[in-house]
Amino acid sequence: MVAQRNTCVKHSIETDMAKRARAGTVYDPATMRLKLANPTEYGDLINWPLTQPLLDWSLPSMHKVLGLHRHVVRMIETPDATFVVKELPDHLAEREYRLLRSLADDELPVAAVIGVVTARDDDADALLITRFLEYSLPYRVLLSGRGLRVPYLGERLLDALAVLLVRLHLAGYFWGDCSLSNTLFRRDADALAAYIIDVETSEHHPSLSDGQRALDLEIATENVAGDLTDLQMGGQLADGIDPIETALAISVRYEQLWRELTVVEEFNAEETFRVDQRMRRLHDLGFDAAELELVSGSEGRTVKLVPRVVEHGFHSDKLRSMTGIHAGENQARRLLNDIRRYGTTLEDRTGKKVREGAAAGRWMEDRFEPTIAALPADLVGSLEPAELYHQVLEHRWLLSEAAGTDVGLAETIESYVASVLQLVQSERHAMRAPPTQEIPVVNPVDAPETGTAS
């Protein structure tokens, strides 16, 4: 199926090349290859100057990208989507394209890959095109506290990174270069969710050995210490953060989560309630066991509980199926609780039992959509809708606590806009660098190919 899609793209490109040739434009398809993951949706990318060095592009709405980069990187905004284009050697671009697609197929948190351009003129490096992750924040913004008054979440960053590394390892991915620089973060209620954006050194295996996991964790600790030290030396690290102690804490958080998700429990055969207890603990962490194995002891008196397939997204999947809202795991948990409370309110009003699905529909019409619609149009895009709704709920709770009585939604929104939302620097495109800022390219050499970790 992929081969068929790529063939269609090649044909459309060659047709476009012929039109350009007739118009006098030099564009040689024989030396360039473009692969698109979704040609139907992103076919317009063939109109970009794909044969030119990325530094020479002058597309409208093109921006530099915050941070230090090994390669030339640019952000390009279009009416339908925003993209990130990176220039790197052909073999690395092809490899990263395949790995990013594999990560997406396994439903892991990753920037969506759109296409790869190789075999460009004059031995120019390839182009890797990904879709920009809206509302994502780089660690430099998070840990300096710049503009993050809604609230500051720097202390939750390592929890998010540990969860990401565990999820990758459960799926058989060796990262090879886990660092804050290769990760983006998005608000998830009072927590953060981490996304992998650079997999040049990654590998995919059926499963990882303890040695592979330990090596990846060691690399992560060293890289995070380096990232934080650089930030500290530049005077950009928030007070109270020790780079070394913070980096070492990753291993502790990782191991705690890994044990909870993978440990084999043994208990008395009559204590089957412990299966439910284990499932509840997994759900509280945002995970679900798609498959469990119960193994009886030799004398039939004990039972072993063995998690076989553990997946993340228990609450977000449920919210999406009920409402269509895409949200982070913690955001989804908060919104689901609000749906349940609203369902109870409906039952009190009508005296009848209200099914969860029906309550979710009424909640969308009566609570969620009116709340988002009541926010100022010029500010509502500053944060994701699910995050906005969560923060309005938090603000209402704080106002009600202070007043000693329930504060109405209209009063809450007025107060939230005035005291919080107006102070927010929009996080939709927080990675966009100011036009005058020079973004250095560090170590602009080909990254070595990695061998298999052991």
Radius of gyration of the chain (CA): 25
Average pLDDT, the chain: 81
The number of beta carbons lying within 10 Å of the beta carbon of residue 372 is: 14
**What is residue 338's predicted lDDT score, i.e. its pLDDT?**
92
Mean pLDDT of 249-260: 89
Confidence of residue 174 (pLDDT cuts 50, 70, 90): very high
**Banded model confidence at residue 1, pLDDT cuts 50, 70, 90:** very low
Q: Look at residue 348 and tell me whether its pLDDT is greater than 50.
A: yes
C-alpha to C-alpha distance for 410 and 416, rounded to whole angstroms: 10
Least confident of 65-74, 362-371, 422-431: 422-431
Structure tokens at 139: 């660690």
pLDDT tens digits, residue range 205-230? 999 999 999 999 999 999 999 988 98
265: β partners: 305
pLDDT in tens, 258-315: 988 888 888 776 777 777 788 888 888 777 776 667 777 666 677 777 776 677 888 8
Averaged pLDDT for residues 385-393: 92
CA distances from 179 to 218, 295, 417, 453 (A): 11, 39, 35, 17
pLDDT at res. 44 = 81
Q: Which of 15-24, 290-299, 377-386, 429-438 has the lowest mean pLDDT?
A: 15-24
Report how far residue 246's alpha carbon sits from residue 231's, in angstroms, rounded to the nearest whole number: 13
Task: Tell me the average pLDDT across 173-192.
Answer: 90
What is the identity of the amino acid at 40? T
- Helical pair 210-233 and 243-262, crossing angle rounded to 10 deg: 150
Q: What integer pLDDT is reported at residue 191 of this predicted model?
A: 83
52-61, 92-101, 275-284: least confidently modelled range = 275-284
CB half-sphere exposure, 312, CA atoms < 13 A: 22
Per residue in 330-342, pLDDT tens? 899 899 999 998 8
Instruction: Report pLDDT for 6.
Output: 43
Among 7-11, 82-86, 253-257, 420-424, which stretch is predicted with the lowest mean pLDDT?
7-11
Mean pLDDT value of segment 121-138: 88
For residue 204, the model assigns a pLDDT of 95
Q: What is the structure's pLDDT at 445?
A: 39
In whole angstroms, what is the distance from residue 165 CA to residue 174 CA? 9
pLDDT at 27: 38
- Give the residue-averaged pLDDT of 144-167: 71
Can you give the pLDDT at residue 196? 94
Give the Cα separation of 361 and 243 in Å (integer): 47
Q: What is the pLDDT of residue 153?
A: 61
Q: What percent of the chain has pLDDT over 70?
A: 82
- 40-44, 50-54, 422-426: range with lowest mean pLDDT: 422-426
Say if CB 110 and CB 197 are below 8 A apart.
yes
Cα gap 454→450, rounded to integer Å: 12
Confidence bin at 203 (pLDDT 50/70/90): very high
**pLDDT of res. 11:** 40
Using alpha carbons, select from 192, 194, 189 the residue that is nearest to residue 332.
189
Q: What is the pLDDT of residue 176?
A: 94
**CB neighbourhood size of 357 (10 A):** 12
60 upstream amide cis, omega within 30 of 0: no
Between residues 103 and 31, which one has the greater pLDDT?
Answer: 103
Question: Which pLDDT does position 446 carry in this prediction?
Answer: 41
- Set out the domains of the chain in order of their start, with CATH numbers: 2-131 (no CATH), 136-262 (1.10.510.10), 265-312 (no CATH), 329-347+358-423 (no CATH)
Tens-place pLDDT, residues 58-91: 888 888 877 667 788 898 988 888 999 999 999 9
φ/ψ bin of 304: left (φ > 0), alpha (ψ from -120 to 50), beta (otherwise): beta
Distance from C-alpha of 120 to C-alpha of 336, rounded to nearest angstrom = 50
Asked if 60 contacts 75 with a C-beta cutoff of 8 angstroms, the reply is: no
